[in-house]
Amino acid sequence: MDSLTLPLPSSLRSKLLEAGFANTSAFQHLTPLQLARDANISHQEALAILKTVSWMNCADQYSKEEDILSSAKTAWDLLCYEKSRKKLRTCCSELDTVLGGGFKPKELTEICGVPGVGKTQLGMQLSINVQIPSEFGGLGGQAVYIDTEGSFMVERALQMAESMIDYLKYATSSCESTVGLGMSLNVDTFLSHIFYYRVYDCTEQLAVVNSLEEFLKEHREVRLIVIDSVTFHFRQDFQDWALRTRLLNGMAQKLMGLAQKHDVVVVLVNQVTTKTNGEIVPALGESWSHTCTNRLILSWSNGCRQVHIFKSPSLPAATASFAVSADGIRDVESSKRIKLCTISSP
In the range 118-137, which residues lie near other proteins by CB under 8 A? Answer: 120-121, 124
* 114/273 Cα distance (integer angstroms): 8
User: Contact with other proteins (CB under 8 A): which of 223, 323, 329, 330?
Assistant: 323
Per the rule left: phi > 0, alpha: psi between -120 and 50, beta: everything else, 118 is left
**Distances in whole angstroms, Cα of residue 120 to Cα of each of 175, 177, 260, 263, 285:** 34, 36, 24, 23, 21
C-beta closer to other proteins: residue 108 or 161: 161
Provide the minimum distance between the beta carbon of 125 and other proteins in the complex, in angstroms, as a whole number: 11
Near other proteins in 157-196, by CB under 8 A: 157-159, 188, 191-196
Residue closer to other proteins by CB (options 57, 249) is: 249
Figure out which of the listed residues 198, 217, 220, 261 binds other proteins, where binding follows CB under 8 A.
Answer: 198
Burial label for 263, CB within 10 Å (0-12, 13-18, 19+), is middle
Rule CB under 8 A: choose which of 56, 80, 154, 317 binds other proteins.
154
Q: E strands along 106-173, which residues?
A: 108-113, 142-147
Rank residues 124 and 307 by Cβ distance to other proteins and give the closer one. Answer: 124
Does position 338 bind other proteins by CB under 8 A? no
Q: Give whichever of 163 and 299 is closer to other proteins, judged by the CB atom.
A: 299
Burial 36-45 (b: 16+ CB within 10 A, else e): bebbebeeeb
Using CB under 8 A, which of the segments 9-17, 42-50, 83-91, 154-162 binds other proteins?
A: 154-162
> Rounded to whole angstroms, how far apart are CA atoms 69 and 58?
22
Separation between Cα atoms, residue 195 and residue 160, nearest integer Å: 16
Taking CB under 8 A as the criterion, the residue among 236, 334, 335, 345 binding other proteins is 236
Distance CA(165)–CA(228), nearest Å, equals 24
Cα 51 from Cα 65, distance rounded (Å) = 11
Nearer to other proteins, 139 or 216 (CB): 216
247 binds other proteins (CB under 8 A): yes
Contacts (CB under 8 A) with other proteins, residues 61-100: none
CA–CA separation, 42 and 32 (whole Å): 9
- Tell me the per-residue interface mask from 266 to 305 with other proteins, x by CB under 8 A, - otherwise: -----xxxx---xxx--x---------------xx-xxxx
Residue 308 found at the interface with other proteins (CB under 8 A)? no
Q: How far is CA 139 from the centre of its chain?
A: 14
Burial 67-94 (b: 16+ CB within 10 A, else e): eeeeeeeeeeeeeeeeeeebbbbbbbeb
By beta-carbon proximity to other proteins, the closer residue of 88 and 128 is: 128
Tell me how many residues contact other proteins (CB under 8 A): 74
**Of 14, 25, 44, 203, the one binding other proteins by CB under 8 A:** 203
